[in-house]
Amino acid sequence: MRFHLIDRIETINYGKYITAVKCITLADDVFNEHFPGYPVFPGSLVLEGLAQLGGSFFELMMKNNDVPVKRSILSIINKFKFRKPAVPGDKLFYRADLVTMREEYGVVKVQADVEGEICAEGELTFTFLDIADDDLQESRMALYKKYQNYPMKVVFDSYQPNEIISVKKYLKNKKLQKYFNRETAAALVGAGQLLKGLTLPAEMPFYYATGFIEFEDYGLRYIADDSADEKGQFSEELFITKGLARVPPINQFKVLQNMPLCFISIEHQLTGDNAVVYGSTASLLQHVLCSPIESPILIGAGKVYRDGRTEAGFALVSKTEIKTSPFLSVTGEAVELFRKWLKEEKNHVVL
């Protein structure tokens, strides 16, 4: 019997770290004997899960660096300690941080925790062996594909000119909505729908494309009206005495194009690599290809049209998916990408 003790690889930052998750259920066969009436997930299997993660990390780094992939064989367990038992219902979060990687061996510092409490930690050393076996190579690559099964998830919303964008239920701090323009509100809703119920790493990269602004005056017409004299001509005196009073300080937030990214990052506590881009689909997707992390990566786009229509789209993607995307050369506005994904890409999961 072979144990697969990783359910999913969540994050890969090549040359730095890898994270994964393992869900423990009472249905696991091991609890038949360990122990009747007092189920405890064996510490040896926690260690094995961390070893599988560390070994996979080295082999995936070899593959990513386009060098011959050798097998990572656990050879040394150092300073390993079990701090807290894991039980059915727990979700184990595994992490392996690179210490060193040489031609013949590699070392990682590993940790397993449940809801922030450390269950086990230590240091693992792997020896790299060249095992010429095509069947083994094929099975390992299939296993990595299974581990990284992070299907693309997409949401896309379109709002009519006078339609209210209800964002309250997607905000922890509901007072923030006074700073939102329509694009920011739509973006918060889209990101909230996409990320609801998901456990994602804070280091997850986030790239957002804002549409070319066709029209959104933020009350500027009233400034112009109050700054005009009886003949309709601009008056510097009226601008100073009346027009400026019409400029709410809060509008400064509404006109900054990085506000959707900022507020989404605050709401979902995202601290990873991020950028705001203007315009094209290709520009947004190229940022994904330059991401320091393989997956998951959050991307989004929004736009307010001249007539007040507002659109926003978001997706969780991986670099592997984007490398083969036919949209890498599309020069149209990025928000169109999400509409096309929902209509044309059959393998995407629509929430």
Contact between residue 304 and residue 183 where contact means Cβ atoms under 8 Å apart:
yes
351/341 Cα distance (integer angstroms)? 13
Q: What is the DSSP string of 3-62?
A: ----SEEEEEETTTEEEEEEE--TTSGGGGTS-TTS--B-HHHHHHHHHHHHHHHHHHHH
Q: What are the φ/ψ torsions at residue 161 (nearest 5 degrees)?
A: -50, -40
8 A C-beta contact, residue 8 and residue 92 = no
| 34 catalytically annotated | yes
Beta partners for residue 316, in sequence order? 153, 298
Place of tokens 């456990």: 199
Q: Which one is catalytic: 34, 268, 287, 348?
A: 34
Backbone angles phi, psi at 52, to 5 degrees: -60, -40
Q: What residues contact residue 165 under an 8 Å CB cut-off, 6+ apart?
A: 159, 182, 185, 186, 189, 310
* Structure-token pair, residue 184: 């920011």
Q: Is 213 helix (H, G, I), strand (E, B) or coil?
A: coil
**Which positions are annotated as active-site residues?**
34
